[in-house]
Amino acid sequence: MSASGVLLIHKPQGPTSHDIVNKIRRIYHTKSVGHTGTLDPMATGLLVLCVGRGTKLVPYLSGADKVYEAVAQKGLETDTEDITGTVTANSDEKGWIEEKDLAPFLGRIQQLPPMYSAKKIKGKKLYEYAREGIEVERKPHWITIHSLSLTHQGEGEFSLKIHCSSGTYIRTLIKDIAHTAGTMATMTQLIRTQVGPFSLEDALSLEELEAMSPGELEGALIPMEEALDYEKIHLPEKFRKYVENGRPVPIPTEEKHYRVYVGEDFYGIGQGSGPQNLLTMKKLLKTNHSE
């Protein structure tokens, strides 16, 4: 099967994101499958995968904002910052999370990556150091929390809905919010409901995919041009060779990415230059041309 595009999968609890990638490789009979952001084994929800030539889109989709719904248990902390880890602290004082405790985490903030994460330091993933009992120095990185709301709270747990930038660790956010409220908490459930323009409501389960015919499998893929959340720009015919040969097109543009068309033919991703009035092709995706 030579199908290409973007695939929305509803990841169940248990398998890793790489496990899902391997299953999609078998279903579509291709090694060319890539993810645009992992989910931990305990997490469920939307996994956006790129199939075939669609893997060229991975760098452009990986940085998309995400929306999560999370549940946390009060009065408990673990080494992984979620319920799968070893308990490192607990308390009978459950505390109460209030709206004012969320306020410091809105907007652009710094967050310290957890030791049990895939972030690399000196070529080695942090969780590999953690499994060896080695604590390494980590630097906080900038993230953006666009919105943060308390959706439920009981005596022993609370729930949050978070709209955030890529690279946000929700379990760390939960731990830090609890500390601000004078208590402790660890994440017990996490579901990702949105990635950029893609919604969990449109995702397919592995069982649904495995029951599909080859034609249905191809139809399950979002075409590359539709998967990009960029403004369209239609160029006149005289610029076709410019685009095909990678020459900058002398037209007024803003400093952002565009979906580039010549007439009605989709060619790929272009980058505008603003005051320089140029459009440069960053990724040529038209199937009968090389990159």
Which positions are annotated as active-site residues? 40
* Residues near 66 by beta carbon (within 8 Å), at least 6 away in sequence: 37, 163, 164, 165, 166, 168, 192, 194, 195
- The secondary element (H helix, E strand) that includes residue 51 is strand 44-51
* Residues near 131 by beta carbon (within 8 Å), at least 6 away in sequence: none
Q: Is 22 helix (H, G, I), strand (E, B) or coil?
A: helix
Q: Which two tokens stand for residue 211?
A: 């029951």
* Residues near 150 by beta carbon (within 8 Å), at least 6 away in sequence: 97, 99, 102, 158, 159, 160
CB 281 within 8 A of CB 243: yes
Q: Which amino acid is at 230?
A: Y
What phi and psi, each to the nearest 5 degrees, are found at residue 11?
A: -75, 130
CB 270 within 8 A of CB 283: no
Only one residue has tokens 């369209």, namely 232
DSSP 187: E
- 249 forms bridges with which residues in the sheet? 279
Question: Which region, left, alpha or beta, applies to residue 5 given φ > 0 means left and ψ of -120 to 50 means alpha?
Answer: left
Q: Which amino acid is at 122?
A: K
What phi and psi, each to the nearest 5 degrees, are found at residue 84?
A: -80, -10
What phi and psi, each to the nearest 5 degrees, are found at residue 208?
A: -65, -40
